[in-house]
């Protein structure tokens, strides 16, 4: 099952609506990077509000997606991090340094627009 990636102006919007398995996470990584390249996106908002649990592999893939998106010139905002997910990321040593975060999708979009100077 593929995660939908929506284009909104020069940004991409991703809302992950279910717990990720390893294959879906890897497919998402590839799809997002191709979409950034295809549309020339300057920003990405990834909403993970629906994710209540994250394992070490999914955490690593999420960290990699953020790093790879930045390498391609897209600023990333992660929204909706649940308390258990935040705890797991820290316990696993997954560093999301220099990653903008926000409590919800609306605030995340606003933060990204400010960062992009729009």
pLDDT at 34: 97
What is the spatial distance between Cα 95 and Cα 60, in angstroms, rounded to a whole number? Answer: 9
Per-residue model confidence as pLDDT tens digits over 41-57: 999 999 999 999 888 88
The pTM (predicted TM-score) of the whole model is 0.91
Per-residue model confidence as pLDDT tens digits over 5-47: 999 999 999 999 888 899 999 999 999 999 999 999 999 999 9
What is the spatial distance between Cα 55 and Cα 87, in angstroms, rounded to a whole number? Answer: 11
Across 6-15, b (16+ Cβ under 10 Å) vs e yields eeeeebbbbb
For the chain, give the percent of residues with pLDDT over 70.
98
């Amino acid at each position: 099952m593929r995660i939908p990636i929506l284009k909104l102006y020069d940004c991409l919007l991703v809302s992950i609506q279910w717990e990720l398995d390893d294959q879906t996470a890897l497919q998402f990584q590839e799809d997002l990077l191709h979409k950034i390249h295809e549309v020339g996106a300057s920003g990405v908002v990834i909403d993970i509000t629906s994710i209540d649990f994250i394992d070490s592999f999914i955490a690593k893939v999420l960290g990699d997606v953020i790093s790879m998106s930045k390498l391609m010139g897209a600023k990333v905002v992660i929204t909706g991090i649940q308390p258990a997910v935040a705890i797991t990321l820290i316990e696993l040593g997954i560093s999301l340094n220099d990653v903008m975060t926000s409590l919800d999708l609306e605030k995340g979009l606003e933060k990204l627009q400010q960062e992009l100077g729009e």
